Chain A
Amino acid sequence: MPEINNSNFEVFVEYAGFLGDLPIFALADGTVQILATDNISIMPHNGLLSACLSLDGNKLITGGEDGLVLAINPHGEIHQIADLGDQWVDKIAAGPQGLVGFASGRSAFVVDGNSEQKGFTHARTIEGICFAPKGKRMALARYNGVSLHWTGLDAAPVELEWAGSHTGVTISPNGKFIVTTMQENALHGWRLDNPATGDGKHMRMTGYPTKVKSISWSAKGKWLASSGAPAAIVWPFTSKDGPMGKTPKELGSMGDNLVTVVCCHPSQQVVAIGYDNGMVLAVRIDDEKEAVLRKTGKAPVNSLNWDKKGVRLAFGSEEGEAGVIEI
């Protein structure tokens, strides 16, 4: 069993990860805890709804019930990116060159490294947000599909349509596939044959017993791991057609316990899996070899993130249990 440093914050852990080398935990009440020689505890938000790491790994980007979008550095210093008043900022994403995307209700915004802000308004609520690998485009998941906006150009977005509510979105590291989580128990994907027009084949990934809330690309985008089943469902994306006509791997099958979160290792073909009983597992995708990293807890695991080198894993649960596992 690897070494675990446990904490209990007794508040829903929205994000557990590493800011630079320091473990960081962002909690739903608005507090952020940075574990250092002298621990830093700050309360940047009145209610925190979303958090992600900047691509350089040195800033935590957060959105709150207070309408604020903030960037927090390893010293606990807070920089305000935006203030949307009384709107809840519950979707957030970071992109290359310091890009930050965030959404509240039917409006989404992108802010570049020079603090230039650009907004997009939709007819329906924006439920997911992510950037393409080079940051030229930002994908917004919405009812009946995805809109691919240009971050730097005033050109019309490319619209990808598929009936139903799309609750999250991700683009493969090679930029060739775009995948959404849906309100129904399924993933939907598009092959981006022609990124300028959005033409390409649809991909349906179904069979989940519950909603998929967590998806993660493995190193180099070879696999897409997903939650929503009593095992991590891992789809192959090595061929031109992605997972079409192929069966996914079911890793870390645990009987009745549902997988709540997945996070792939930064360099190896390994996925960390969190369960609704608090267990954390790491599984090598190729030979399906499992290692138990945490046996159990009192609440579902909500956040899992590796450090840059892939030697430590931070976890956080819905009831505030959190920790760092040294591999």
Chain B
Amino acid sequence: MTQPIPVTVLTGYLGSGKTTLLNRILSQSHGKKYAVIVNEFGEIGIDNDLIVSSDEEIYEMNNGCVCCTVRGDLIRVISNLMKRRGRFDAIIVETTGLADPAPVAQTFFMDDDVRAWAKLDAVIALVDAKHLMLRLKDAPEAEDQIAFADVILLNKIDLVSDDERGKVEAAIRVLNPHAVIYPTKQADIDLGLILDRGAFDLDRILADDPKFLEPESDHHHHEHNHGHDCGPDCDHPDHEYTTSPHDSEITSVSLRGTEMNSDMFFQWINKITQIDGPDILRLKGIIAFADDPDRYVVQGIHMIVEGDHQRPWKDNEKRESRLVFIGRNLDHEKLTRTFAACHA
């Protein structure tokens, strides 16, 4: 069996710069060939056999689960593309500004064929730094896209003051504390930073987040890491936040613990995702099980959860469990209490 083709999902509200980024990906000479699935041929100014237009089409699965949706059009297009897989090295899926990223991502876990041929590499959200605060007030889709993303391009950074930029980053961090944020002008980014990230790859999960397992400080200062290009003269007024800048229902809950009882943890995570799955956008974590020499990594989308043993804990590593939920109406108290009950 040949290696599954990596798939990058590009989300972003209208005008955030998705087309500009796509044109960059298609025109730069990086030695890789991309098949691009777009909603409309529209403004992509490049003639390429491998740009395929596709109407976003949501399928509900016949299992009574409202959040178990997939993108039927993607199943078809990817099935057809895979008949000639030698033509390209990777696939990029561009979604419309109003799209919910979850069905796109779930397609790569719920459809057996797509799962065999392709693997989800990362969800990238483009954000218009100038207009994000307005969008967050009137467009729940914009919020979902940020909350769901692994990588966020904070685009049009040249159009905002440092003060505005600080506020926008803070707003993003409330929705999604662990995404990698790259500030860009005209979506100009080293493509190596955003493609082939393995964000859903259990072997690499959270590998770009070295702070993930570090002890949390007393205040909610989020470490300003991940390629943020602040220099020593960085004077962003706001790297710290405790309140939401707007009335969002999306929050994240970070859980931390010591060694867990594996039976109790699996029962708990299955139950939580069954009951609260529709509200859970993403979850990621590293778990230390008692009597288990290996780190256990877990990731999920809505009701889909998958996990695996990753590698042995190193001698100098503290055997600590950490789990992050991003979602709507998350019950912080319940999650904390029930997670704590799974300790060995």
State the A residues within 8 Å of B (CB).
11-12, 14, 28-29, 46-47, 49, 65, 86, 88, 90, 105-106, 124-125, 127, 143, 163-165, 182-184, 210-211, 318
- Complex Cα–Cα for A46 and B84 (A): 12
B73 to chain A, nearest CB (A): 7
Decide if B73 touches A14 in the complex (CB within 8 Å): no
User: Is B65 positioned at the interface, with any CB of A under 8 Å from its CB?
Assistant: no
CA distance A51 to B63 in the complex (A): 33
Q: Do A211 and B57 touch (CB < 8 A)?
A: no
Residues of B within 8 A of A127 (CB): 72, 76
B112 at the interface (CB under 8 A from A): yes
**Complex Cα gap A163–B75 (Å):** 18
Q: Is the interface of B mostly helix, strand, loop or mixed?
A: mixed
Q: Is A125 a contact of B73 with CB atoms below 8 Å?
A: yes
Q: Does B258 contact A (CB under 8 A)?
A: no
Distance of B44 from chain A, by nearest CB (Å): 12
Check B80 for interface membership: any CB of A closer than 8 A: yes
Interchain Cβ contacts under 8 Å between A and B, 24 examples: A11-B84, A12-B83, A28-B83, A29-B84, A46-B49, A47-B84, A49-B83, A65-B80, A86-B53, A90-B80, A125-B55, A125-B57, A125-B76, A143-B72, A163-B62, A164-B62, A165-B59, A165-B72, A183-B59, A183-B72, A183-B111, A210-B112, A211-B112, A318-B83
Q: Mark B110-138, 1 if CB is under 8 A from A, else 0.
A: 01110000000000000000000000000
Chain B contacts for A164, CB-based, 8 A? 59-62
Which residues of the partner chain A approach B72 to less than 8 Å between Cβ atoms?
125, 127, 143, 165, 183
B41 interface hit (Cβ, 8 Å): yes
- What's the minimum C-beta distance from B66 to chain A, rounded to whole angstroms? 13
Q: A11-B84, A125-B57, A165-B59 are in contact. List 13 more A-B contacts (CB 8 A).
A: A12-B83, A49-B83, A88-B77, A106-B55, A125-B72, A164-B59, A164-B60, A164-B61, A183-B72, A183-B75, A184-B61, A184-B63, A318-B83
A105: chain B residues at CB < 8 Å are 55
Which residues of chain A are within 8 angstroms of B113 by Cβ–Cβ distance? Answer: 211
Contact of A12 with B84 at beta-carbon distance under 8 Å, contacts A143-B72, A184-B62, A210-B112 already known? yes
| Min CB–CB distance B68 → chain A (angstroms) | 11
- Residues of A contacting B98 in the complex (Cβ-Cβ under 8 angstroms): none
